[in-house]
Amino acid sequence: MATDRTAERRKNRKELSAEDERYLAHIRGLLDRDGSQRITSGELKKLLRVGDGYVASRVFSLFGGNGKRSLDKNETLGKIVSLILGEEEAKLRFLFDLHDQNGDGYIGRAELKRMLDASLRQNEIAISTTEKADLLRVIFKKAAGSGRRIDFTSFKRLLRAYPEVQAETIRSVTAWFTGEEGLPAERGRLHFGALVRIFVTTVPSFVYKWLLLALYIALNAYLFWMTAERFAAGGANIYLQIAHGAAACINLNGALILVPMMRSLLGRLRRTPFARVVPADHHIEIHKLLGEVMFGFALLHTGAHLMNYETSRMDIARQLFHTSIGLTGVILLGIFVLIWVFARKGIRRGKGFELFYLSHLLYIGWFAFMLVHAKSFWLWGIWSIAGFAIELIVKRFVKRHISFVEKASPLPGGTIELRFHRPTGFTFQPGDYLYLRIPRVSRMETHPFTISSTPEEMEYLSVHIRTLGNWTKAVSRLFSDELKGSERRIPVMFVGPYGTPSNRIFKAKHAILIGAGIGVTPFASILRSILHRRLAKEPMKLERVHFFWLNRGQRSFEWFADLLSDLEARKLRDLFDINIYMTNAEVNAASGLVKIGMELIQRQTRRDVTTGLQSVTHFGRPNWGKLFEEISREHGARSVAVFFCGPYPLAAAVHRAARRSGFAFRKENF
């Protein structure tokens, strides 16, 4: 009774929670943006963020706008507040009325078809006329039996048979008006077992990571201090002490910065017991860190010398341009500035990739001038320079291959698949990548791509290229123009293979593979290889694979539809668990019945309407915390490893959920 009285007070707006107040303030802000007292159908559509005009017009009509050009904002606000603060029954009635266009208290087939069409347009889902008819048929049969119309009682009964869909549709009523993107992630309570899992699986790697960083900082600090002390004992002023301390740190970091780029060495390390202690999976991040630290010490070194010249009243121009050490120092700093500036993320990951690539080739000049500028650098850098030289020799004479593109297939979403002849003796592991150069596009540029074919496919290699930057767009244009209806073969050069964190999947007992968009590419090769090994009855430690593929739109799932269909046809459900998510689509007030219809068809035909696969397509984004908790209960945390390839923001969210569940986490560089 007390709960009912509280709900009644909230409904009458005599008592509002802090969350209610926040919602109201947000809605008032949206309604008062232009200062007008009226709101049109188009303005309401923008407020709701609804892409389809039919849905917006239905909401406009339900708020009293039927036959009107605009609504009074205060009255509209009152109706929105009553709806948001209303009970579940009121929200269900709103959902029903949204479908009931003529307001006769029933949903007819024509009315449901209009809402179905609007929902499909809004979620950018394309299905055939026959499939639309099937959706209408199964929804009406489930809700109305042999009847021709759906009343409110049948509507509620249908939704309550699908509690997850009902929860999302009811939530969407509030989300439309409050601007909420979705329910907050379910956190759950950290019980004792979860704490133990986090401690056992996460804390050691966390401590190890920070221990390595602490040792690195300590080594730099020690070198800086000891060098400064030595020069102080020799009578040098404070500026020379700082300059030479910074120089010692440049020597150290200059010797280390090439090591993370020795990909052949790192690939070998990944296949040895040293993989447990060497952070090979983070080699790019380590290389970036070393570069930033070196640049900082270079500026400190230069600034300290300039201060020394100034205080000692030396001729700065003469010291910089008329001495060997000064001139080489100026050149070194100039090279470093160019490399650092063009390595910024906005340039590197944008349209200026060529600037990043060409400026990074200046590293050869930097090391050459460094050996002249600082005699002591020979003792530090000669070993890494020699190792990197060996890496280049291996790259040039062992890992470098020439082939011809045999097939180019354009795919949805601005992606193209290239197949080229696999050279004799070329061996690789599932998930490996190569560096591809296409001379017809650029004689200098090489770009990394995951090998999407499997080691068991001996005739060809394949890569999937997403057209994002200038180079990839040029590749797409080249093959669209040259290979359409032509048998002409275009030469390519590639260097590889190189190992990745995904190579460790066969050492896991239970694996979670998560690919977002084109990030699915390494897992295509891995899934095929797992299937080959299973069919060949090769011994595998791997017992269960939970595969998640996230795409914004429907057509992108065509990239590897044949592979997934083959996996499903083999009926290996004990091994493969396939989960498909279409993130641009959502279950809301307009699409709830459509989602129910799709699930009904999938149960009847064992085929999903949106992808043609047996696996159900989920709308929206996964709740990683909830999913991982379920997998943890199934297998136990210590036997599960997560392998991820996709954009950085999603990687961070998945990593947090994996850490909370006590799962090991491996990320591909995307």
pLDDT tens readout for residues 390-414: 888 887 777 888 898 888 888 776 7
Residues 379 and 407 in one domain: no
Specify if 146 maps to a domain. yes
Which residues contact residue 89 at a Cβ distance below 8 angstroms, ignoring those fewer than 6 apart? none
CA distance 339 to 305: 22
pLDDT of 463 over the 80 cut: yes
On whether both 454 and 389 belong to a single domain, the answer is no
Rounded CA-CA distance 566/670 in Å is 27
Please give the span between the terminal C-alpha atoms of the chain, in angstroms, as a whole number: 55
Nearest to 590 by CA among 173, 200, 308: 173
Answer whether residue 510 shows pLDDT above 50. Answer: yes
Half-sphere exposure of residue 85, counting CA atoms within 13 Å on the CB side? Answer: 26
Within a domain: 149: yes
Q: What pLDDT is recorded for position 49?
A: 64
> Do 281 and 385 reside in the same domain of the chain?
yes
Which of 74-78, 255-259, 337-341, 619-623 bottoms out in mean pLDDT, i.e. has the lowest?
74-78
Same domain, 453 and 559: no
229 in a domain, yes or no? yes
CATH number at residue 159: 1.10.238.10
Select from 122, 144, 178 the last residue of a domain: 178
pLDDT band of residue 275 (cuts 50, 70, 90) is low
Q: The pTM is what?
A: 0.73
Residue 142 lies in a domain: yes
Question: Which of 346, 366, 393 is the endpoint of a domain?
Answer: 393
The pLDDT tens digits for 134-175 are 888 888 888 877 667 888 888 888 888 888 888 888 887 777
Under the banding of pLDDT at 50, 70 and 90, the label for residue 186 is very low
On whether both 250 and 374 belong to a single domain, the answer is yes
Distances (CA, A) of 535 to 524, 540, 569, 571: 17, 11, 13, 12
pLDDT value of residue 273: 67
User: Which pLDDT tens digit goes with each residue over 307-320?
Assistant: 888 887 777 777 78
Question: Do 426 and 532 belong together in one domain?
Answer: no
Same domain for 521 and 492: no
User: Are 483 and 530 in the same domain?
Assistant: no
* Res 179 pLDDT > 80: no
479 within 8 A of 493, measured Cβ to Cβ: no
255 and 151 belong to one structural domain: no
Judged against a pLDDT cut of 60, whether residue 279 lies above it is answered with: yes
Query: Mapping DSSP to helix (H, G, I), strand (E, B) and coil, where does residue 450 land?
Result: strand
How confident is the model at residue 14, as a pLDDT? Answer: 43
Q: What is the CATH number of the domain that holds 526?
A: 3.40.50.80
How many domains in the chain?
4
Boundary of a domain, candidates 499, 514, 540: 499
**Are 588 and 168 in contact, with CB atoms under 8 Å apart?**
yes
The rounded mean pLDDT for the chain is 80
Query: Is residue 360 situated within a structural domain?
Result: yes
- Answer yes or no: is 601 within a domain: no
SS3 for 280-349 is HHHHHHHHHHHHHHHHHHHHHHHHHHHHHHHHCCCCHHHHHHCCHHHHHHHHHHHHHHHHHHHCCHHHHC
pLDDT tens, residue by residue, 538-558 = 888 888 999 999 988 777 777
Same domain, 579 and 663: yes
Q: What is the mean pLDDT of residues 262-288?
A: 75
Q: Residue 298: pLDDT above 90? A: yes
Does residue 265 sit in the same domain as residue 377?
yes
pLDDT at 24: 67
In a domain, 210, yes or no: no
Residue range 208-253, pLDDT digits in tens: 677 888 899 999 999 999 999 998 888 889 989 999 999 999 999 9
- Which residue range(s) make up the domain with 533? 502-584+620-667
pLDDT above 70 coverage of the chain, percent:
83
Task: Give the number of other Cβ atoms within 10 Å of residue 397's Cβ.
Answer: 8
- Token readout for 244 is 């030479």
Give 5's pLDDT tier (boundaries 50, 70, 90). very low
Find how far residue 10's CA is from the centre of its chain: 41
Confidence of residue 31 (pLDDT cuts 50, 70, 90): low
Whether 386 and 416 share a structural domain: no
Q: What is the pLDDT of residues 321-330, one digit of tens each?
A: 878 888 888 8
Place of tokens 């929902």: 119
Residue 193: inside a domain: no
Instruction: Answer yes or no: is pLDDT of 505 > 60.
Output: yes
Question: What average pLDDT does the segment 356-382 reach?
Answer: 88
Scanning the structure block, which residue is given the tokens 């995951």? 450
Cis peptide preceding 501, ω within 30 of 0: no
